[in-house]
Structure 1
Amino acid sequence: MLFNRRKDGKLVKGGDPMIHIMPYVMRGRNESAVYYGKSFCVENIQEYIREKRREGKRITLFNVIVSALLHTVYRRPHLNRFVAGRKLYQRNTMDVLYVVKTLMTDEGVESVAKITSDGHDTLEDVTRMMSEHISYIKDGQEKSDDCLIEFATKMPRFLIRFILWVIRILDFHGLIPKVLMDNIPLYSSVFISHMGSLGAEAPFHHLYEFGTTSIFCTIGKIYKKPYQNVASGELEWKKTIDISISIDERICDGFYLIKSLRLFETYIDDPYLLEQSPIELDLEHKQRLRQYKQYDGDSESFLEDYWEKMMAEADGDKDAGQSGENL
């Protein structure tokens, strides 16, 4: 049908009937939002950054987190879904939005940068793209979305309200022009705010009803947190960050989300994995899975013993890094 087609996504068909009825039960993103906060030890990342800087490569914690998110979204595609017009869609691209402040003052202007990946980008590629975007914005060069927003603010209020009403109607029916999607900074896979760069903690952020962004992440400042050394039983203070995630629960269930976060944590624990592209890592992963006799490559179903083994390993990793807060 005409109204089921969109330029930025493909209609999700079949599967669990619940995912198709939920957009009618919970019509807005904030009504459907689930909030999940987790702490991540970043000492491995910091050691990795120091090593790369000795090689003359400037990589930041934010670069690693953005790359880890892109890797996770590629490997866990349900995270790259969105609801529009009471329908569930699989996004065609992987896009990450984040705010860049031109000056670290009260008067500094904010601009939204976008990183788009097709699954072939390594950490080095992501770092390069982010550096180019930040330099472009801080050099004072206006982006097309900034020009569009500035132009809109000069219109009479009734005209702004009317135009936005028309855009919402077009978006609901999948008729919004792609040029508007590209220039309205609310169409993405994930929106990230690095509050830690301002010395702040990671609050839970609302989701935008306008656009198609289903996930909002905030990153807090680095602090020290006690972890239990399983071998000695002693407490060790390690550098940690908090990441708060707001996600539209209509795009995936809790089981899928928790598994996705475990994959994300794997990249945080071992940033060397990010030196390969998501496609390369996904191929390696599927090759390992084919070692199991009853693995179905099309449906990606697994043996119960494989799941038990995987979950046992995950629980073991969790116990090995048990936080002192749980003592």
Structure 2
Amino acid sequence: MFGRRPDGTLVRDLAPVRRFLPFISPRRNDSLVYAAQTLPVEAALAHVAALNGARPDGPRVTLFHLVLRAIAVALHERPRMNRFVSGGRIYQRDGIWLSFSAKKAFAEDAPILTVKRRFDPAEPVEAMVDGVLAPLGAARGGALTQADREVSVLLRLPVPLLRVAVGFAGWADRLGLLPRSMIESDPLFASAFVANLGSVGLEAGYHHLWEWGTCSVFCVMGRIAGDEGARTVTLKWSFDERVADGFYAATALAVVARELERPPGRG
């Protein structure tokens, strides 16, 4: 309340026009901007192969893991992209939190798992991969996440009461009254949500932003395209323009491109 939240700090030095934007565009999808990148990934794939070769018995590193790392680095170097709007105010998020989804099994009717994790750009890639895969393994083994348990409890309510409960939670969030435990377990309270459609052989597509939560950026990764020696991947982005202007967002995407074209340890 009064500009205080457990997951962020009120930004007080904004230009007047930016402070006013949440009032003329109160919803994230009123302020949605799209962008696309098609990036060369030969260097990144070579780095993936080297990492996997160095630990043949360890969890497998994939291009998706390098994309997650590149996004974390971009959010660290361009911190305005790690802001969010809540209750008509703009906040700087505490930490870099990425949410991502994966199929529980490679089958059409398999449920989708969603994982949220705090990322440190200085963390070694191998440690990051281990940290990403651990909750996925637990979920694929049948373990429920905290968010799953909370939703299961809410779904026991009659529909009218469920609407009231969700509305009350949204009101509490706008006032900064949601407890940290609820925020940290909810994948929609994140710096960015990343979906890997390439893992099921699909092209990237644009995605909306949810009104629930505080996620200001969505990235969809498509399948690897092209012949060996000239392979590329397409990333499609959706972001909330209220947190930063388009030029600043473009500089953040340039950091993602740099990190994939010149991954750590490969020049």
Q: TM-score, normalised by structure 1?
A: 0.77
1:166 shift after superposition: 0.3
1:36 shift after superposition: 0.3
Task: Quote the Cα distance in structure 2 between the aligned partners of 1:274 and 1:111.
Answer: 32
Task: Quote the Cα distance in structure 1 between the aligned partners of 2:129 and 2:212.
Answer: 29
Give the SS at the match of 1:10: strand
Give the structure 2 partner of residue 279 of structure 1: none
Give 1 or 2 for the bigger CA radius of gyration. Answer: 1
Give the SS at the match of 1:223: coil
1:225-240 counterparts in 2 under 5 A? 238-240=230-232
The answer to whether structure 1 residue 259 and structure 2 residue 251 are counterparts is: yes
Task: Quote the Cα distance in structure 2 between the aligned partners of 1:18 and 1:122.
Answer: 40
**Sequence identity, in percent?**
29
Gaps of 5+ in 1: 226-235, 276-327
Give the SS at the match of 1:242: strand
1:274 shift after superposition: 9.3
Task: Quote the Cα distance in structure 1 between the aligned partners of 2:28 and 2:194.
Answer: 17
Give the structure 1 partner of residue 152 of structure 2: 150
Task: Quote the Cα distance in structure 2 between the aligned partners of 1:182 and 1:92.
Answer: 11
Cα shift readout 1:210-231 (whole Å, capped 9, x = no counterpart): 0000000000011118xxxxxx
> Deviating runs (4+, > 3 A) in structure 1?
none
Task: Quote the Cα distance in structure 2 between the aligned partners of 1:155 and 1:274.
Answer: 54
The answer to whether structure 1 residue 56 and structure 2 residue 55 are counterparts is: yes
Stretch deviating more after TM superposition (15-24 or 61-70): 15-24
1:151 shift after superposition: 2.2
Task: Quote the Cα distance in structure 1 between the aligned partners of 2:262 and 2:41.
Answer: 10
- How many equivalent pairs are there? 264
1:119 shift after superposition: 4.4
Give the SS at the match of 1:68: helix
Task: Quote the Cα distance in structure 1 between the aligned partners of 2:186 and 2:97.
Answer: 13
Match of 1:68 among 59, 67, 70: 70
Could you tell me which amino acid in structure 2 is paired with residue 238 of structure 1? A
Task: Quote the Cα distance in structure 1 between the aligned partners of 2:11 and 2:124.
Answer: 28
Stretch deviating more after TM superposition (93-102 or 109-118): 109-118
Task: Quote the Cα distance in structure 2 between the aligned partners of 1:196 and 1:185.
Answer: 21
Alpha-carbon spacing, 1:217–1:273, altered in 2? closer, same or farther (3 Å): farther
Q: TM-score, normalised by structure 2?
A: 0.94
Could you tell me which amino acid in structure 2 is paired with residue 65 of structure 1? V
Stretch deviating more after TM superposition (109-118 or 87-96): 109-118
Say whether the 8 Å CA contact 1:65–1:268 is kept in structure 2.
Answer: yes
